[in-house]
Amino acid sequence: MIKKALLLLLSVAITAGSFTGCTSTSGNDDTNLQTQEIKFDDEKSADLVIVGAGAAGLSAALEAVNNGAEKVIILEATNKTGGSLNFTSGSMSAAETIIQEEDGIEDTLESFVEDIMNTGSDFGGKPNREMIEIFVEEDKDAFQWLWDNGLSEYEFTKDQQGNRAVFAPEHALYSIQRTYKAQAKDKTNYKSPLHEVLDGLLKSNSKIEVEYLTKATDLIANDEGQVLSVCGENTQTGKVTRYNSKKGIIVATGGYSANHKLMAKYATYGGSYITGSPATADGNGLLMMQKVGGALQDDEIMGYIPTFPMGLASKDDPTTGIIASTYTWKTGGIVVNKEGERFVNETEANPSIREVALEEQPDAVQFDIFTDKILEDLRANNAAGMYDLRFGAEGAPGKHALYEADSLEELAEMIEVPVEKLQATVDSYNASVEAGETDEFGRSYDENFNTFKLANNKIEGQKYYAVRLNALCIMTLGGIQTNTDLQVLDASGSAIPGLYAAGEVVGGIWGKFVSGGTGVMGPVVFGRLAARHAMSTEPATGYEVKPAENMLDEELFIKDKTSENEFDMSKELKDGKYEVTVDGQEGPMTVNVTIADGKISEVVVGDNKETEAVASGAIKDIPAKIVETNSVDVEAVSGATLTSERIKKAVVQCLTEAAK
C-alpha cells in the first residue's frame, strides 16, 4: 500500500496567480494513484525562500541580502529563531583568526583540515575532504564576519595562559588551540552568543521576513522542472500559504536526532539514545526533499550518529535529556553496563572511543559507580563542578538518576544489575588499583596524573553511589546529498534546479565524528555558501522532477504519543485555587490553577527554572489554551515540548486534587 503523501509531487499543476498547487496522493496500490490538489489560503513571493531559522537559515538569509536579494522569507516551525542554538552554548572553531593572532598562536588552514579529517576518519569514518577544505577556507572569513558584526564585544572563556583560543576537551583535541567559547550577553533569551549576533543582524535587516509557527510541508516544481516554491502551514491557524522564490529554495531544517525511529533504522541502539536537540530535529526536511528526487547518503553514512557518553534523561520524558557527567572516574570511579560489567577505559582521552563503547552496550545505558571517598577527592581537585550542578545541588535536575546505598549489594539491587557480576567487577577493579598497573581496558593506576586521572581510589567507602546515564545525541551527520555548491542532488548525481540545502540536513561532510566547533560554524559557513550560489545561479530548465527511489517510510515520521497528561474533564471539580510543584528543566516549577463554576478559569506558571529562550512560548501559550478549551488535551508548543508537558502534568495534578 502506498503511504499517503509518499509520492506527493508525482504530478503538479502550477498556475501563476492561482491558489492551487500543493498536492497529496492516495490510493490502494502503485497502479491506482489519485492526485488531489490542496487549496491554500495565500501566496507570497521573495527572491529567496529558506526553510528553517537556525544558524544555517539565518546566515543564508543575511548572505542573500549581501548578494542582492531585496526580499528573503524564512519559514520557521517554532515561535523563535535559533534552532539547535537554543540548546547549546555554541562553541566555535576557526583557524588563522584574529583571536589567535592577538593570543600569539600560530595556526594554518591546512592543519585545521587535517585535524577534521583525522577525527572524522576515526572508526572507519569517511569525511569529505573537498567539502572540508571549502569549509575551512570559508570559515576564516565567516568568523571574521561575525567578529566585525558584534562578536568582538563578547567575553570569552580563557585558558590558564589567558588565551581566548582554547582546547575543548568535550571533543577530540585539535593539534592547536582554535576553539572559542564566548558567553551570551542576554542569558535570559540566548544560550549561544552566535545566536545573539545573528538575531541582532536579522532584526536590523528589513529585507528579511520570518514566518513563525510555519511548518514547510511540500516542495513544488514548476513546468520547467525548477523547485522554486514551498507550501507552509501555520501550526496555530492551519492556514496554508504557497511561498514562491525567484532564485531558489534553501532547506535548512536540521538533522534527525529527535527522531528515535529514524535513528533506530540506522544504529543498533539508536532508538535508545536520548536527544538533547529541539523536537523539530525530526528529519522531515529529508523526506520533503526525497519527494522531489533528493538522494540520501548511503545507510553507512546515515548511521553516523555521534553521541556523548554523558546523557542525563529527563524525569518527565526519558527520551530526551541534557549533557551531564559525574566525572567521578577522574578520581577512581568506574562505569558499568546494565549487566554490571565494565566495558571501556573510563579515563580514555579520545572521547570517540568512550562514545562508541557506550553505543554498543544494551540500551546504550551506563552507570557511574563511585563512593564518598571518590567524591571527596573529586571536590578536593576542584573537578566537581558538573557533579554539583547536575546532581549535588538542591533541586538539581539529576536527583532522580542518583542512587545512594550503604553497601555495594544494596546499590546493585537499587539499579537492577546482577549483584554477583557487579561485585566481581568491583573486586577485579580494586585488585588493579592495588597492583598499580594497567588493566585489560588500558586504564593505568600509576602515579602519573593528568586531566583525565586526578587520583587512584578503590570502590570502597561508607557510602556507595550510582548515576544512570545514557548515550546522548545532539546532532546527526547523515543527510541529503549535495554538490559543493550546496545544490541538492538526485540519485544520478544531477542537481535539482533551484533546490539547495545547508546545515545539519546535509550529510556526508564530517565523517563519523564531528570536530569541536564545526557543528556550529558548519551551518554558518554552508548557509552563506548556499545563499551565495543560489543568488548567482539561474535554475536550469528541462529537468524531470520525480520522487526518489528508496523513499523513507512515512511511518518513521509519525510521532508516538508519549504524554500521560490526560484528565477526564467529565468529573465534577470543586471551586478553589490549587498549587502544584513539579520537576523542571533546571529545578522546580510551580503552577497555580483556579477552578470557578466547575471549570478551569486560570492557569499561571509561577516560579520556575526553565530555559526562557526555549520555554517562553509554552509558558505563555499552554495555560491560555487549557483555559480556552477547559482541557489539558492541548497540543504542545513546537520547540518547547518538555515545558509544555510539565505544565500539563502540573495542571492534571491540580485537577486531580480538585476532583476529590
- Does residue 635 lie within any of the structural domains? yes
Give the whole-angstrom CA distance, residue 365 versus residue 360. Answer: 9
Cell numbers found for residue 127: 569525511
Please report the pLDDT score of residue 610 as a whole number: 82
Give the whole-angstrom CA distance, residue 138 versus residue 133. Answer: 9
Residues 96 and 179 in one domain: yes
- Whether the CA torsion 386, 388, 392, 393 is positive or negative: it is negative
Confidence of residue 568 (pLDDT cuts 50, 70, 90): confident
Please report the pLDDT score of residue 598 as a whole number: 83
Give residue for cell 483556579.
Answer: 594
Q: What is the CATH number of the domain that holds 617?
A: 3.90.1010.20
Residues 610 and 629 in one domain: yes
Residues 218 and 346 in one domain: no
Q: Report, as an integer, the average pLDDT of 322-342.
A: 97
Q: What is the CATH number of the domain that holds 440?
A: 3.90.700.10
**Rounded to a whole number, what is the distance in angstroms from the first to the last CA of the chain?**
49
Q: What is the dihedral of CA 33, 39, 44, 46, to 10 degrees?
A: 0
**Could you read off the pLDDT of 36-90 as tens digits, one per residue?**
466 789 999 999 999 999 999 999 999 999 999 999 999 999 989 999 999 888 8
Tell me the average pLDDT of the chain: 91
Residues 214 and 153 in one domain: yes
Q: Beta strands of 514-616 (E only): which ranges?
A: 576-583, 588-596, 599-605
Give the whole-angstrom CA distance, residue 377 versus residue 170. Answer: 22
Other C-beta atoms closer than 10 Å to the C-beta of 542 total: 8
> Contact 88/474 with Cβ under 8 angstroms?
yes
Give the closest residue to 252 by CA, choosing from 551, 518, 482, 536: 482
Among 471, 504, 523, where does a domain finish? Answer: 471
Catalogue the long-range contacts made by 411-416 (C-beta closer than 8 Å, 24 or more residues apart): 411/369, 411/464, 411/465, 411/466, 412/340, 414/466, 415/367, 415/466, 415/468, 416/338
Residues 237 and 110 in one domain: yes
Please report the pLDDT score of residue 587 as a whole number: 75
Report in angstroms the alpha-carbon separations of 488 from 227, 280, 363, 554. Answer: 11, 21, 35, 21
Report in angstroms the alpha-carbon separations of 491 from 7, 265, 397, 481, 495. Answer: 16, 20, 46, 9, 10
- Does residue 268 lie within any of the structural domains? yes
Taking each helix axis from N to C end, the angle separating 641-658 and 612-629, rounded to the nearest 10 degrees, works out to 40
Among 471, 491, 506, where does a domain finish? Answer: 471
Among 517, 545, 573, where does a domain finish? Answer: 545
Cell numbers found for residue 337: 553496563
Confidence of residue 583 (pLDDT cuts 50, 70, 90): confident
Confidence of residue 577 (pLDDT cuts 50, 70, 90): very high
CA–chain centroid gap for 598, Å, is 42
Residues 68 and 194 in one domain: yes
pTM: 0.84
- pLDDT tops 50 at residue 559: yes
Q: Is 508 left (phi over 0), alpha (psi -120 to 50) or beta?
A: left
Residue 312's identity, in one-letter code, is L
- pLDDT tops 80 at residue 525: yes
Choice between 329 and 616, residue whose per-residue pLDDT is larger? 329
- pLDDT tops 60 at residue 18: no
Residues 97 and 220 in one domain: yes
Taking each helix axis from N to C end, the angle separating 518-536 and 55-66, rounded to the nearest 10 degrees, works out to 40
- Does residue 2 lie within any of the structural domains? no
Ramachandran angles phi, psi of 571, nearest 5°: -70, 150
Choice between 411 and 16, residue whose per-residue pLDDT is larger? 411
Please report the pLDDT score of residue 37 as a whole number: 65
Q: Report, as an integer, the average pLDDT of 611-617.
A: 76
Please report the pLDDT score of residue 613 as a whole number: 67
- pLDDT tops 50 at residue 26: no
Q: Domain range holding 355?
A: 307-471
Cell numbers found for residue 643: 515545558
Give the closest residue to 349 by CA, choosing from 93, 171, 179: 171
- Does residue 29 lie within any of the structural domains? no
Residues 479 and 466 in one domain: no
- Does residue 266 lie within any of the structural domains? yes
Q: What is the CATH number of the domain that holds 184?
A: 3.50.50.60
Please report the pLDDT score of residue 32 as a whole number: 30
Q: Report, as an integer, the average pLDDT of 165-174.
A: 89
Residues 456 and 323 in one domain: yes
Confidence of residue 194 (pLDDT cuts 50, 70, 90): very high
> Contact 350/303 with Cβ under 8 angstroms?
no
Give the whole-angstrom CA distance, residue 443 versus residue 333. Answer: 12
Residues 256 and 337 in one domain: no
Confidence of residue 324 (pLDDT cuts 50, 70, 90): very high
- Does residue 5 lie within any of the structural domains? no
Number of folded domains that form the chain: 3
- Mean pLDDT check: name the lowest of 139-143, 276-280, 493-497, 585-589: 585-589
Residue 130's identity, in one-letter code, is E
Residues 183 and 225 in one domain: yes
> Contact 515/120 with Cβ under 8 angstroms?
yes
Q: Which residues pair with 218 in a beta bridge?
A: 231
> Contact 352/358 with Cβ under 8 angstroms?
no
- Does residue 21 lie within any of the structural domains? no
Q: Report, as an integer, the average pLDDT of 371-399.
A: 95
The DSSP call for residue 392 is: I
Choice between 609 and 290, residue whose per-residue pLDDT is larger? 290
Q: Report, as an integer, the average pLDDT of 331-355.
A: 96
Please report the pLDDT score of residue 565 as a whole number: 63
Give the whole-angstrom CA distance, residue 181 versus residue 192. Answer: 9
Report in angstroms the alpha-carbon separations of 246 from 57, 506, 595, 654. Answer: 17, 23, 54, 53
Please report the pLDDT score of residue 297 as a whole number: 98
- Does residue 223 lie within any of the structural domains? yes
Residues 150 and 233 in one domain: yes
- Mean pLDDT check: name the lowest of 283-292, 488-497, 564-573: 564-573
**Could you read off the pLDDT of 428-482 as tens digits, one per residue?**
999 999 999 999 999 999 999 998 999 999 999 999 999 999 999 999 999 999 9
- Mean pLDDT check: name the lowest of 271-285, 499-513, 552-566, 640-654: 552-566
Tell me the pairing of strands 42-51 and 240-251.
Answer: parallel
Q: Report, as an integer, the average pLDDT of 92-114.
A: 98
- pLDDT tops 60 at residue 356: yes
Q: What is the dihedral of CA 197, 199, 204, 209, to 10 degrees?
A: 150
Choice between 451 and 285, residue whose per-residue pLDDT is larger? 285
Give the whole-angstrom CA distance, residue 181 versus residue 98. Answer: 14
Residue 484's identity, in one-letter code, is T
Q: Report, as an integer, the average pLDDT of 258-263.
A: 96
Give the whole-angstrom CA distance, residue 289 versus residue 294. Answer: 5
Q: Report, as an integer, the average pLDDT of 111-126.
A: 97
